[in-house]
Structure 1
Amino acid sequence: MKAKARRVILTWFVCVCLVFSTAVLGHAYSGILAFGDSLSDNGNADGFGIPTAPYSNGPVWVEYLAGPTGLNVPLFDMAYGGATTAYDNPAASLDYTGLNWQVDFYLANFSSQVSPSTLVTVWAGANDLFNGRDYDDAADNVGLALLKLATAGFQNFLVMGLPDVGATPQFNGTPYEAGATGWSMAFNAFLAAELAGLQAAFPANHFYSLDTFSLLNDVIADPGKYGFDNVTNTWLSRPPGDTGNYLFWDGVHPTTQAHGMIADYARVAVPEPATMLLLGLGLIGLAGARRFRR
């Protein structure tokens, strides 16, 4: 067979594979399983003696990520407002509902739902800062939670770093600003080391991360670029009739508009396995074409 004919056949084969894989795989993630604190809580903390979730003026980021404009998959949310990275929840005077409690509870009660095609999201750490705990211990706790989940069989993770807590209205311009910023930075550095270790221990898994520290500071530096016109005050304290686009709902929590933005960046941070398969098929096609040119 002539080289030109071979190339035509190979191109046709790759195109068919691409179409077939897209149709069959569709949503490569079967669902989202969320762990963490108030930044991901869609109602679990109700009735535990702490303010009613969500801690925003609308849906939180994992709801957007799981929704029609995101991955369009079911959401199973285990996050609790006030949760630390350990087992406790000081905001509600509870010795449970913390991140590692959430993970242990899920694995003890829903182990039949463990699936390698689930996207697991983890966002915690701020409540450790608020309660005066060490950043290295908090990062270790997140690593432990991820280790439990990976050992159980989950393979796809999105781990959110801490934003610059010192830049939030509750801390900005106060004597605690520098300390909160430094704690956030140190936690993120230790968390990155935890993720690197987990990736080495589970080479077939995917440990994605999102740098919310840089994202928050970018938004504050150029709010108009991201669709915000107030990045210093809170939505809850807005004057009557103010329809501005606020970044912060209260002193530390984002508005639902900000949550939507976070979800958009999270969507980019987690390429679906189908996308990776398509890329692999494309590379095979290119390699084959080069081979036939020889």
Structure 2
Amino acid sequence: MTRARVSLNLRFASHYRATSNTSSQSSLCFWLLLLLLHFSRSASSRATAAKVSAFIVFGDSTVDTGNNNFIPTIARANFPPYGRDFNGGVATGRFSNGRLVTDFISQAFGLPSTLPAYLDPSSTIDQLAKGVTFASGATGLDDLTAKFTSVIPLSQQLEYFEEYKARLEAAKGESVAKEIIAEAVYIFSIGTNDFILNYFTLPVRPVQYTPAEYVSYLVSLAEAAARDAYHLGARKFGLSGLPPFGCLPLSRTRNHREPGECNEEYNQLAMRFNAELQDTVTKLNGDLAGVLVVYIDIYSVLSDIVANPSDYGFENVAQGCCGTGLIETAVLCGLDEPLTCQDVDKYVFFDSAHPSEQLYRILADKILKSTAGAFL
């Protein structure tokens, strides 16, 4: 081999070693960077998941997953056609054909896809630690509303929450229980029955309050309930406004001035309630240390769906899927099971007062995009 060729080979080998070392260092840096990104993302995911430890719900039939099954009341939904599209076609006590809005939101938070009812004896404390509903169909903010149908008043739901907290401490230890309670999201979905089943049906409250005064009275009860939960350790709240309940099929049927049309008097009261509730949300955020309270807007979403049903895939907004769709709910819906519609996804309401699973799915998606991100 010539001297020039040897020199060339030596220079090539020297260049190869230098390049190889640089390449190895670059490769090592690359894999270290990937590793750091992996752990960073894992830690971020764990932190995000940890921000919502459980989903805890208070309210009425819109969020009752079966508590009424275990109390002596006719306000139940544990029979067909309720639950026809739930897992296995089981009527769980949910006033719908399938899951509720809170089930969908819980799943989106990485928590259970179906929330257990607190009074269900089959629910273990490990299940309840990730989410639970204390809600009761046909109840209201006003305890008189609950008495009318013998269901669980909001005041009792808060007592159950206090009991739940003690059960958590016994099972998980005080520090773990305290963390679960503090990092949980609390939803209050309640108020419609106070008007439909109480104020516009019973003679007591109209004598005591004008409609506007009754709205203010109800909002004061919602504020008191949130403060009670806060003193028990709750810190993250979602207070749901009222829907345009004048457009429920039941309300349309009872609208004697314009039969079949939305009852605008009812809707005006819903809007007034919502405006005052938003003021209360601002007040709570200012008064309570370490609290996060958000207003959940149901009214505008449902109003748009009622006005533009085809945009959301619906065909019928004025009738429920069950029975004639005009008056049936709870036990009356069960009596008319043979008349239940075939394609429930075309209906905004499953019975004359409660949304279909498809509407709940849409509402959950809207809430997650507009409000729920505040808790993450």
Same fold (TM over 0.5): yes
**Match of 1:242?**
342
- Give the partner amino acid of 1:60: L
**Match of 1:24?**
46
CA contact (8 A) 2:237 2:294 kept: yes
Superposition TM-score, scaled by structure 1 size: 0.79
Q: 1:90 to 1:179 in 2, by over 3 A?
A: farther
The 5 A counterparts of 1:195-274 are 195-237=281-323, 242-243=342-343, 245-268=346-369, 269-271=371-373, 273=375
Structure 2 CA distance, aligned partners of 1:103 and 1:240? Answer: 36
- Give the partner amino acid of 2:63: S
2:130 is aligned with 1:90: no
Q: 1:146 to 1:221 in 2, by over 3 A?
A: same
User: 1:271 aligns to what SS in structure 2?
Assistant: helix
2:52 is aligned with 1:44: no
Identity in percent: 21
* CA-CA distance at 1:21 after TM superposition: 3.6
Worse-superposed segment, 159-168 or 71-80:
71-80
2:194 is aligned with 1:128: yes
Q: 1:109 to 1:210 in 2, by over 3 A?
A: closer
Q: CA offsets, 1:38-83, max 9 Å, x none?
A: 010000011431232211111111112212x454243211000111
- Give the partner amino acid of 1:219: I
- Give the partner amino acid of 2:155: N
Structure 2 CA distance, aligned partners of 1:256 and 1:48? Answer: 26
Q: After TM superposition, what 4+ stretches of structure 1 lie above 6 angstroms from structure 2?
A: 14-17
CA RMSD of aligned residues (A): 2.5
* CA-CA distance at 1:243 after TM superposition: 1.7
User: 1:41 aligns to what SS in structure 2?
Assistant: coil
**Match of 1:290?**
none
Q: CA offsets, 1:91-124, max 9 Å, x none?
A: 4235xx1112211331245244452110101011
Which structure features the higher share of helix residues?
2
- Give the partner amino acid of 2:305: V
Structure 1 CA distance, aligned partners of 2:256 and 2:271? Answer: 17
2:169 is aligned with 1:105: no
Structure 2 CA distance, aligned partners of 1:231 and 1:66? Answer: 27
Structure 2 CA distance, aligned partners of 1:17 and 1:240? Answer: 52
User: 2:250 aligns to what SS in structure 1?
Assistant: coil
- Give the partner amino acid of 1:51: A
The 5 A counterparts of 1:164-183 are 164-172=244-252, 174-175=255-256, 177-183=263-269
Q: CA offsets, 1:262-290, max 9 Å, x none?
A: 222222311165x4xxxxxxxxxxxxxxx
- Give the partner amino acid of 2:111: N
2:219 is aligned with 1:139: yes
Q: CA offsets, 1:230-289, max 9 Å, x none?
A: 11111103666632511011222101111111222222311165x4xxxxxxxxxxxxxx
Q: Give the gaps of 5 or more residues in structure 2.
A: 1-32, 77-92, 113-129, 170-176, 200-204, 206-213, 258-262, 325-338
Q: 1:203 to 1:16 in 2, by over 3 A?
A: farther
Greater RCO, 1 or 2 (C-alpha within 8 Å, sep 6+): 1
Structure 2 CA distance, aligned partners of 1:241 and 1:126? Answer: 25
Structure 1 CA distance, aligned partners of 2:340 and 2:269? Answer: 36
